[in-house]
């Protein structure tokens, strides 16, 4: 498909190897590169603003495990503009593999109603594609990411598709929460997670895996460079600063900055695909304004940078007296999920999913470091059980939500991020109701009400979405259903930025499914 488009765009013969630039080395760019390399003859150059990093390195893992060092601290974003209703600092990683390096691996699908938000509630926008169109791409993305899950759970519909790995068994700590949920008639199931069961050798240290059992774009890129080294070039520490246009319709390549030498550079290509995340995707379009696109590429209707949304997060925990079974924190990831409130009847005020479990009130590591005796350790373990719940909810946008270019520069030589965000009153009310639901679950689990602690966090950059939203017309968004920027022939966006709405579920699987779909379209 892309060859026909490009032939028409440049009006001449193509080179033997199609040249494509991908901006960003996170899950979208990496999954897309895999599809293009495996099923086509493309020559790909991938630009990443951050540096190289090693996957599956046991020394890094040991340093992180024993020293508790913050291995990702050098790679976090550094915006200079914060917003009281939306945070960025520390939520995104600028490095090879992007934010998947500290991603928890949670991979629930969106549900059918999530693609019809406007039609069902009057808020936000509908997707120009529906769940049934996405279902086969979801299934292929689950295989590529190595997802574990319950293939017999048909909410949302799986149409016979099987997860590549079986669901993780519920832990003893999960059972404490499950008993409470069943008493309250709240449904639950197994968490789907990008964590290949055939490679896992340990638990509790999943933010850096020594054997690459959890999916990261970092490890996937390592494999791609081995398999397709002659057709894939990865340029790290090379932020793209501008998209170059020949007239209004066709991009001819990009400008970039080599942070290792400080020198600017340019590269031409037959197509450019921006996979740099919600903030950097829209900022790159805005930074590329010119004679033909006065307000930024794809921004004639003013939608670039608009509609910013994310996931408000909330949590609750309490102590249930006594732990005669000496239940511990068995895993370092979630194995239980409830999507009871992630359903059409809750969509009008913001759907929600949550996970939870129970474990010791103090970790074994803390007790050992405190140099307590064996009897004191046993007494502490048996004294109580910490029961915790955490969830995310769908956010509706406020009219003022937008991202603009800041005046300064980040350490990567990119414009700083300025955020304007309001809070939808309906979401605030729904969040409080959901927190109270958590309190009821904990009380039913045996926690004393006066000892239950609750909290909430504003959305941050990890799940930010919608700044280059997908639409059928350029009057309503920035990219078409094939993720092509309206009004252009060979420029695409593949990041959370294209989501018209955020739903309640984590966005990574949906983004990976869109990347698989785009790869097939371009091939």
Confidence (pLDDT) at 81 = 63
Give the number of C-alpha atoms closer than 13 A to the C-alpha of residue 385, restricted to the C-beta side. Answer: 25
pLDDT tens for the chain, 523 residues long, are 444 444 334 333 333 334 999 999 999 999 999 999 998 889 999 999 999 999 989 888 888 877 766 899 899 987 666 688 888 878 899 999 999 999 989 999 999 999 999 999 999 999 999 999 999 999 999 999 999 999 999 999 999 999 999 998 999 999 999 999 999 999 999 999 998 666 777 666 778 888 888 899 999 999 999 999 899 999 999 999 999 999 999 999 999 999 999 999 999 999 999 999 999 999 999 999 999 999 999 999 999 999 999 999 999 999 999 998 888 877 778 899 999 999 999 999 999 999 999 988 877 767 777 787 888 888 888 888 999 999 999 999 888 899 999 988 999 999 999 999 988 889 889 999 999 999 999 999 999 999 999 999 989 998 999 999 999 999 999 999 999 999 999 999 999 999 999 999 999 999 999 999 999 999 9
Within 10 angstroms of residue 70's Cβ, the number of other Cβ atoms is 10
Q: What is the pLDDT at residue 210?
A: 87
Contact 94, 410 (CB under 8 A): no
- 176's tokens: 């404490």
Half-sphere exposure of 129 (CA within 13 A, CB side): 21
DSSP notation for 83-118: BTTB--TTTSB-STTGGGGG---B-PPPPGGGGGHH
Phi-psi region of 93 (alpha: psi -120 to 50; beta: other; left: phi over 0): beta
pLDDT for 291: 95
Sorted by sequence, the CB contacts under 8 Å of residue 235 that are 6+ apart come out as 45, 46, 47, 48, 256
**In this predicted structure, what is the pLDDT of residue 8?**
38
- Cα separation, 346 vs 429, in Å, equals 12
- Region of 466 (left: φ > 0; alpha: ψ -120 to 50; beta: rest) is left
Closest CA to 451 of 321, 282, 288: 321
Side by side, which strands form the sheet with 491-493? 232-235, 43-47, 19-23, 271-274, 491-493
State residue 194's pLDDT score: 92
Going from the N-terminus, what domains does the chain have, and what CATH number goes with each?
1-77+93-150+213-303+468-523 (3.50.50.60), 153-191+312-393+423-458 (no CATH)
Q: What is the pLDDT of residue 203?
A: 64
**pLDDT attached to residue 80:** 61
- CA gap 284, 241 in Å, rounded: 7
Q: E strand or H helix at 285, and its extent?
A: helix 277-287
SS3 of 357, please?
A: strand
Helices 27-39/508-522 angle, 10° precision: 30
Cis ω on the peptide bond leading into residue 156 (within 30° of 0)? yes
b/e for 410-448, b at 16 or more Cβ within 10 A?
A: bebebbbbbbbbebbeebeebbeebbebbbebbbbbbbe
265: CB partners within 8 A, 6+ apart: 238, 255, 256, 257, 258
Nearest to 390 by CA among 350, 344, 437: 437
């Amino acid at each position: 498909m892309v060859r026909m488009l490009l032939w028409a765009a440049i009006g001449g013969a193509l080179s033997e190897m199609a040249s494509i630039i991908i901006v960003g080395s996170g899950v979208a760019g990496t999954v897309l590169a895999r599809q293009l390399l495996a099923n086509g003859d493309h020559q790909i150059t991938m630009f990443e603003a951050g540096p190289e990093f090693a996957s599956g390195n046991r020394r890094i893992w040991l340093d992180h495990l024993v020293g508790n060092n913050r291995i990702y601290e050098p790679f976090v974003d550094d915006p200079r503009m914060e917003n009281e209703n939306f945070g960025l600092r520390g939520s995104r990683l600028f490095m090879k593999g992007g934010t998947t390096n500290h991603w928890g691996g949670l991979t629930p699908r969106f549900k059918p109603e999530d693609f019809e938000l406007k039609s069902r509630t009057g808020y936000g926008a509908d997707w120009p594609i529906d769940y049934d169109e996405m279902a086969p791409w979801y299934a292929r993305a689950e295989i590529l990411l190595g997802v574990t899950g319950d293939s017999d759970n048909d909410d949302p519909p799986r149409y016979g598709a099987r997860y590549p790995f079986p669901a993780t068994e519920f832990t003893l700590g999960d059972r404490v929460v499950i008993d409470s949920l069943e008493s309250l008639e709240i449904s639950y199931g197994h968490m789907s997670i990008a964590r290949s069961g055939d490679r896992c050798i340990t638990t509790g240290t999943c933010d850096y895996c020594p054997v690459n059992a959890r999916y990261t774009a970092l490890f996937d890129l390592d494999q791609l460079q081995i398999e397709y080294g002659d057709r894939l070039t990865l340029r790290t520490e090379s932020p793209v600063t501008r998209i170059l246009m020949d007239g209004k319709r066709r991009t001819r390549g990009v400008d970039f900055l080599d942070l290792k030498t400080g020198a600017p550079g340019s590269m031409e290509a037959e197509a450019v695909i921006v996979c740099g995340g919600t903030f950097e995707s829209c900022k790159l379009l805005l930074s590329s304004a010119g004679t033909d696109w006065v307000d930024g590429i794809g921004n004639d209707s003013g939608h670039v940078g608009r509609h910013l949304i994310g996931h408000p997060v909330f949590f609750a925990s309490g102590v249930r007296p006594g732990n005669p079974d000496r239940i511990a924190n068995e895993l370092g990831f979630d194995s239980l999920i409830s999507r009871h409130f992630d359903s059409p009847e809750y969509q009008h005020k913001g759907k929600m999913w949550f996970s939870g479990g129970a474990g010791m009130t103090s970790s074994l590591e803390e007790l050992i470091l405190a140099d307590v005796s064996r009897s004191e350790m046993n007494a502490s373990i048996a004294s109580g059980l910490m029961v915790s719940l955490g969830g995310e909810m769908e956010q509706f946008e406020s009219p003022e939500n937008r991202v603009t270019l800041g005046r300064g520069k980040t350490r990567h030589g990119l414009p700083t991020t300025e955020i304007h965000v309001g809070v939808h009153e309906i979401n605030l009310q729904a969040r409080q109701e959901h927190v109270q639901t958590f309190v009821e679950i904990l009380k039913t689990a045996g926690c004393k009400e006066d000892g239950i602690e609750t909290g909430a966090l504003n959305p941050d950059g990890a799940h930010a979405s919608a700044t280059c939203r997908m639409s059928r017309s350029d009057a309503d968004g920035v990219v078409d259903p094939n993720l092509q920027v309206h009004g252009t022939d060979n420029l695409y966006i593949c990041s959370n930025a294209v989501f018209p709405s955020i739903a309640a579920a984590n966005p990574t699987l949906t983004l990976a499914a869109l990347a698989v779909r785009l790869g097939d379209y371009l091939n």
